């Protein structure tokens, strides 16, 4: 058959849809799309019309940058001076240009310019990267119709509304297009929308039949048409419009629209006309900024800066008042200052005015109390910390080739303070790899394989039976088991805990590896044996439903000769693999039909059957089912349906419930075994019945307005009635590698875990058992509401019932006397609607916090976000949300920290996250290692920053008081300029980047160390004020020791005393040496970089002093040759420095010595053990310390083992008591005889 004849046939066949929204090809009534929201008019193949008003639309140029050439300077400066500290330094820099300034203008302006300039350069670099990315996109080439049937390449940014574009396979669509035709005769194409919605499955798009003749370049010479449609909007899944062509009007829907940034797949080429360009396109309409998140440390840092501002104002007021008093009462006696011939700055007659002027001087002079380089130093440190996270080889997933990514560096330290983790289940705890494991057909259960939950339960039951003294050998459990110890458990001794993982036989393992998605084992169905079963006709129908009722696309695999399936969900893919293995291979899809190759037929030869798709009623989260209306080769019409059993059972006819009781029993068993289930049903339709329904369906489809979707859903529901149950499927959603171990380690670290899932309660509970969130002996609190009661009793009565359940549960927990008792809260989405109400949510939260684990089932994406917000705001503690799908974006953005898993469900969760990892198990290292390190590094770094600035800044205040509040600085302007920027900045950065209290291995072996973060031991007010007190003490020692030493002592060999320049330089040298020695004492872990930065800073100071002193006196002033001629030859100078350094750091040294000896922290003990190599020489001690170093937990495998040990001890105690009683009785008996 020729191509033209195929097209002719297609044009005359009244093809219907794959979706509910497909318009009929002929006989459609034109729709009114006038009015608000429907003003867009597109003249196809006439882009010149849209080059001027009133039909001018935005260009296809896109920009995601924050700045441009014009706005960079004002916007970047505004961003920098939103920080209070920077605004303060800006004001002082301006005032430094006035006569009241105690310093030269350069010493105030240069540090500010350096810090602000560095931050702006960082902003510019990040924005430049975005700009380069934008330019790459804008410069991409697309084939555009230039006229006379000729196509040529144009950059994307030059494409205009109305242009006809040709897109080839694996290319992105440059704008939102109306599909006109494709390389397939029936006008369909396959599109990957992963960049838009995170879904990896391919979508089918199809052109209107009327445009199928536009099949090559030349046909567009005379092509004209008009599109009237909705205005630009962010809805990815809706589109309403009309297409006027050849004096006919055809309705348009989303199935004809190709969205920008989606990719053409499995199709040689398509032609389309541009409808929306640039920022009008739906993907750009959806681009929103992520919520701004700040860490708790950063918020507290602002409070500290406010405290220092208050201190600054207080000492400035003291200085100002002191100066006014001096000016009024003492200056008249200072004849050498000529008090009668002076300005308002020093006027004895106006002391108040002089005091006000001096207040400005003092505010500038003491400004060094505020660390100007703190913000930029923290930014540098956090970027470097994020780099280490990104490059951690232990968080690299070999299977996917993906590493961990810190998508924002602002929250690094927050990783070390997490209290509660809120996790998705599917794709997060589980692999999102679905294996077809069991099925129920015609009331008979098939499938002899065991799920991971079954095997774990069998193992637990075997242990329980063993405890009771039963015969273990009689228990039906696989003999072929293997014990995999935990990753880090090698060489830990017999007392260490090992997690046993039951695996199946070698043959089964190999079988699973060969057929991905199919783990079914039952000889009754395999190899065509199903045809010998008593209900072979029902089994055949069951398998045909699996092979026909779907939206998947087959892709031929040349290597194995079969097909791979691009399905909308992993569940659907596993159904098709199962159907293929049972002999019903889905092999081809066209716009109107699916083709199934059936192997096991009576003729003995494979037969390819065509099933015409009349309508496809797609799955939605609200409908929870999908149906295909098909016509088979005999002309019979069937409705094939699959969906949630709770929905399907309500739609069954009276004569369709033959297998309901048995199927329900099987479904419950499957749910208890942690399997995901779907029910399958069908209905045979008469031609007249279908025609009448289809007429109603077409009316609903061609209607326009807000109730269009509701009408379509109503008509679809009317068809999906009186169904006949065929059976049910059970597929296994496997746990990700290392999930139980990770949960156990996080529990030992003191973290709480809430699981929020859309799965039903039975499945979620059993996954909870398999990953040790639940265990035998744990008391389960199930908060639920009977759906029938909602209608009967009214909402208020239901709310009272739920509140009573919550109150009773809370009371039960409070009255529990067993300290080892553990509770688990389980609640479903319907009940959660009431529990999250304002008048009940705090009681619900209180109950959840009291429970060891919380599982929320059947929750919507919005409920996930609301639960996350409740935990975050209600507890006031740091929350972390982790998920992998688009439905997890809400909770990821709502939580303090959002972690996305770059898994099977696409990248939308990752794009919304703050950190991304490839597997849930990497969360252990991200928090317990990097979180712990980053928290301590940032906390110590900020405390040290305030310490050194207080130690330096207060010496200026003391000197001013010493000199009559004159506003005189003891230090040279260049010294002060270099203090924060050069001489003390690199050591503190090295502290923030490289400091380790313990190694990564020790962090994992001693998970309780993590609790130092949530308890905020290193950044509480006690520690902050302790460091401030240390700074105050150091400033007193540095100033007064130097004054005492140099005040009237002979300084030079000639007997001269030291001048102000010598005292100031000596004092500054003491500050540089003291604060750098202090940071050396603070560090627990040294690398060559830290040695270089700490001791190099002191060396740099001396090199600067030498070179500065060698410059002209016009530049160096009083510091001319001060080191060579004045300081270095004077022994008193070197003695003073040594004395001051020792005296400054002695109290800190005494404090940490006392603490380590009498009140050591956890990491102190570990450091001592490692230093004395006790971990190598005394393994028993090391193991004992490890067993102590975990938080008491009631979830995880460790909790299971602890419960088991308590149980065994109880049994032994009873046995021992019984033995003692028997012994005493026998002794008494002997005595009596």
Active site residues: 424
Residue 1066 contacts residue 1137 (beta carbons within 8 Å): yes
**Can you tell me the distance from the alpha carbon of 1125 to that of 1109, in angstroms, rounded to the nearest whole number?**
10
Residue 759 contacts residue 676 (beta carbons within 8 Å): yes
Indicate the Cα dihedral angle 462, 464, 468, 470, nearest 10°.
-10
556 CB-near residues (< 8 Å, 6+ apart): 562, 563, 564
Among candidate residues 293, 418, 414, the one with its CA nearest the CA of residue 1014 = 418
**Can you tell me the distance from the alpha carbon of 147 to that of 214, in angstroms, rounded to the nearest whole number?**
15
- How far CA 774 is from CA of 376, 604, 755, 824, in Å, comes to 46, 51, 11, 7
Residue 373 contacts residue 980 (beta carbons within 8 Å): yes
Give the length of the chain.
Answer: 1233
334 CB-near residues (< 8 Å, 6+ apart): none
244's tokens: 């006027």
Peptide bond into 54 cis (omega under 30): yes
Among candidate residues 913, 916, 914, 911, the one with its CA nearest the CA of residue 286 = 911
* CA angle in degrees (0–180, nearest 5) for 935-937-942: 100
* CA angle in degrees (0–180, nearest 5) for 850-853-856: 105
Among candidate residues 938, 936, 950, the one with its CA nearest the CA of residue 1075 = 950
- Coil, strand or helix at 96: coil
Residue 225 contacts residue 243 (beta carbons within 8 Å): yes
- Coil, strand or helix at 231: coil
- How far CA 125 is from CA of 117, 119, 493, 641, 783, in Å, comes to 12, 10, 52, 55, 52
Residue 839 contacts residue 813 (beta carbons within 8 Å): no
Among candidate residues 269, 258, 206, 245, the one with its CA nearest the CA of residue 15 = 206
823-828 and 779-783: which strand pairing?
A: parallel
Strand residues in 809-860 grouped as ranges (E): 823-828, 853-857
Maximum CA pair distance of the chain? 127
Helix axis angle, 932-962 relative to 1021-1046, nearest 10°? 40
**Can you tell me the distance from the alpha carbon of 326 to that of 1095, in angstroms, rounded to the nearest whole number?**
43
Q: Which position has the token pair 């190759």? A: 597
**Can you tell me the distance from the alpha carbon of 1044 to that of 1075, in angstroms, rounded to the nearest whole number?**
21
853-857 and 823-828: which strand pairing?
A: parallel
């Amino acid at each position: 058959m020729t191509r033209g004849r195929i097209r002719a046939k297609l044009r005359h066949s009244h093809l219907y849809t794959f979706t509910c929204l497909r318009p009929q090809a002929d006989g459609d009534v034109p729709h009114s799309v006038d009015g608000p929201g429907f003003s867009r008019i597109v003249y196809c193949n006439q882009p010149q019309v849209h080059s001027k008003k009133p039909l001018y639309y935005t260009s296809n140029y896109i920009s995601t940058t924050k700045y441009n050439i014009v706005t960079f300077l004002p916007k970047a400066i505004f961003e920098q001076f939103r920080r209070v500290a920077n605004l303060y330094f800006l004001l002082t820099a301006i005032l430094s240009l006035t006569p009241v300034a105690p310093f030269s203008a350069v010493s105030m302006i240069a540090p500010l310019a350096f810090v602000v300039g560095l931050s702006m350069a960082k902003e510019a670099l990040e924005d430049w990267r975005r700009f380069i990315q934008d330019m790459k996109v804008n410069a991409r080439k697309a084939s555009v119709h230039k006229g006379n049937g000729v196509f040529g390449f144009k950059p994307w940014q030059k494409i205009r509304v109305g242009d006809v574009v040709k897109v080839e396979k694996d290319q992105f669509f440059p704008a939102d297009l109306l599909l006109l035709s494709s390389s397939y005769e029936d006008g369909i194409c396959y599109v990957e929308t992963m960049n838009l919605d995170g879904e990896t499955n391919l979508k089918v798009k199809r052109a209107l039949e009327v445009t199928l003749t536009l099949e090559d370049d030349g046909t567009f010479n005379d092509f004209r048409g008009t599109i009237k449609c909705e205005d630009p909007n962010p809805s990815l899944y809706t589109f309403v419009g009309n297409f006027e062509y050849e004096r006919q009007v055809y309705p348009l829907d989303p199935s004809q629209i190709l969205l920008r940034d989606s990719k053409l797949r499995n199709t040689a080429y398509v032609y389309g006309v541009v409808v929306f360009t640039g920022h009008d396109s739906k993907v750009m309409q959806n681009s929103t900024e992520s919520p701004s998140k700040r860490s708790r440390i950063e918020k507290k840092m602002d409070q500290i800066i406010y405290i220092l501002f208050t201190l600054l104002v207080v000492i400035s007021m003291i200085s100002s008042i002191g100066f006014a008093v001096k000016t009024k009462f003492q200056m008249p006696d200072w004849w050498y200052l000529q008090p009668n011939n002076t300005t308002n700055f020093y006027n004895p007659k106006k002391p108040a005015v002089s005091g006000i002027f001096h207040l400005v001087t003092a505010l500038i002079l003491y400004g060094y109390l505020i660390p100007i380089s703190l913000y930029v130093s923290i930014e540098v440190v956090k970027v470097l910390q994020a780099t280490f996270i990104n490059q951690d080889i232990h968080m690299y997933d070999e299977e996917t080739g993906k590493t961990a990514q810190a998508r924002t560096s602002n929250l690094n330290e927050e990783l070390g303070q997490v209290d509660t983790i809120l996790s998705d289940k599917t794709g997060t705890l589980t692999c999102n790899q679905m294996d077809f494991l069991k099925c129920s057909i015609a009331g008979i259960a098939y499938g002899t394989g065991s799920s991971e939950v079954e095997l774990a339960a069998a193992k637990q039951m075997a242990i329980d039976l063993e405890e009771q003294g039963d015969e273990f050998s009689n228990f039906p459990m696989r003999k072929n088991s293997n014990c995999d110890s935990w990753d880090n458990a090698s060489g830990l001794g017999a007392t260490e805990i090992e997690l046993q993982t039951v695996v199946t036989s070698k043959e089964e393992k190999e079988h699973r590896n060969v057929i991905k998605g199919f783990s079914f084992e039952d000889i009754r169905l395999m190899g065509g044996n199903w045809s010998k079963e008593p209900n072979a006709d029902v089994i055949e129908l069951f398998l045909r439903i699996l092979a026909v009722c779907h939206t998947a696309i087959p892709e031929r695999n040349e290597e194995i000769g079969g097909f791979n399936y691009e399905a909308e969900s992993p569940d659907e893919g596993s159904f098709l693999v199962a159907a293929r293995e049972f002999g019903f291979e889905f092999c081809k899809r066209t716009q109107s039909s699916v083709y199934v190759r059936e192997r096991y037929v009576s003729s003995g030869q494979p037969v390819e059957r065509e099933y015409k798709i009349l309508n496809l009623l797609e799955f939605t989260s609200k409908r929870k089912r999908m149906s295909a209306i098909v016509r088979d080769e005999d002309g019979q019409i069937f409705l094939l349906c699959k969906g949630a059993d709770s929905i399907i059972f309500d739609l069954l006819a009276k004569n369709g419930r033959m297998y309901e009781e048995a199927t329900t029993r099987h479904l419950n068993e499957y749910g208890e075994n942690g399997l995901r289930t779907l029910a399958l049903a069908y209905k045979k339709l008469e031609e007249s019945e279908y025609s009448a329904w289809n007429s109603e369906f077409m009316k609903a489809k061609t209607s326009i307005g807000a109730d269009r979707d509701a009408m379509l859903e109503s008509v679809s529901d009317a068809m999906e009635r009186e169904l006949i149950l065929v059976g049910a499927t059970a597929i296994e959603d496997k746990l990700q590698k290392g999930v139980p171990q990770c949960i156990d380690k996080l529990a030992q670290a003191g973290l709480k875990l809430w699981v929020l899932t859309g799965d039903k309660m039975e499945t979620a509970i059993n996954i909870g058992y398999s990953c040790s969130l639940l265990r035998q002996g744990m008391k389960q609190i199930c908060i639920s509401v009977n759906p029938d009661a909602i209608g009967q009793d009214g909402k208020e009565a239901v709310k009272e019932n739920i509140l009573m359940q919550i109150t009773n549960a809370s009371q039960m927990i409070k009255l529990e006397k067993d300290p080892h008792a553990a509770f688990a809260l389980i609640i479903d989405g319907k009940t959660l609607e009431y529990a999250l109400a304002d008048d009940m949510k705090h009681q619900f939260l209180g109950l959840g916090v009291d429970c060891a684990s919380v599982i929320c089932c059947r929750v919507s994406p919005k409920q996930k976000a609301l639960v996350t917000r409740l935990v975050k705001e209600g507890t006031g503690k740091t929350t972390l949300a982790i998920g992998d799908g688009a439905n997890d974006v809400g909770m990821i953005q709502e939580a303090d920290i959002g972690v996305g898993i770059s898994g099977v469900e696409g990248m939308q969760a990752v794009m919304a996250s703050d950190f991304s990892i490839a597997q849930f198990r990497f969360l252990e290292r991200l928090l317990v290692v990097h979180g712990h390190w980053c928290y301590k590094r940032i906390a110590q770094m900020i405390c040290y920053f305030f310490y050194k600035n207080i130690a330096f800044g207060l010496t200026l205040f003391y000197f001013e008081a010493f000199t009559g509040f004159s506003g005189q600085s003891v230090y040279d302007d260049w010294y002060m300029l270099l203090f924060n920027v050069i001489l003390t900045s690199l050591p503190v950065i090295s502290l923030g980047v490289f400091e380790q209290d313990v190694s990564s291995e020790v962090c994992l072996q001693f998970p309780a160390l993590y609790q130092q973060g949530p308890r905020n031991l290193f950044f509480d007010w006690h520690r902050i004020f302790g460091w401030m007190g240390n700074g105050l003490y150091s400033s007193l020692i540095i100033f007064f020791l130097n004054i005492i030493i140099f005040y009237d002592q002979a300084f030079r060999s000639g007997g001269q005393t030291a001048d102000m320049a010598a005292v100031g330089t000596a004092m500054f040298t003491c500050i540089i040496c003291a604060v750098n020695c202090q940071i050396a004492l603070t560090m627990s872990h040294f690398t060559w970089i830290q040695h270089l930065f700490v001791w190099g800073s002191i060396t740099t100071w001396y090199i600067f002093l030498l070179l500065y002193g060698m410059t002209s006196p016009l530049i160096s002033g009083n510091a001319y040759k001060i080191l060579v001629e004045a300081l270095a030859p004077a022994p008193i100078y070197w003695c003073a420095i040594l004395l001051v350094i020792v005296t400054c750091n002695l109290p800190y040294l005494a404090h940490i010595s006392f603490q380590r000896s009498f009140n050591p922290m956890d990491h102190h003990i570990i450091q001592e053990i490692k230093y004395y190599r006790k971990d190598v020489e005394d393994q028993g001690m090391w193991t004992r310390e490890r067993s102590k170093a975990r938080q008491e937990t009631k979830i995880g495998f460790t909790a299971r083992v602890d419960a088991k040990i308590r149980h065994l001890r109880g049994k032994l105690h009873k046995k021992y008591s019984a033995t003692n009683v028997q012994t005493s009785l026998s002794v008494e008996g002997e005595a009596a005889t």
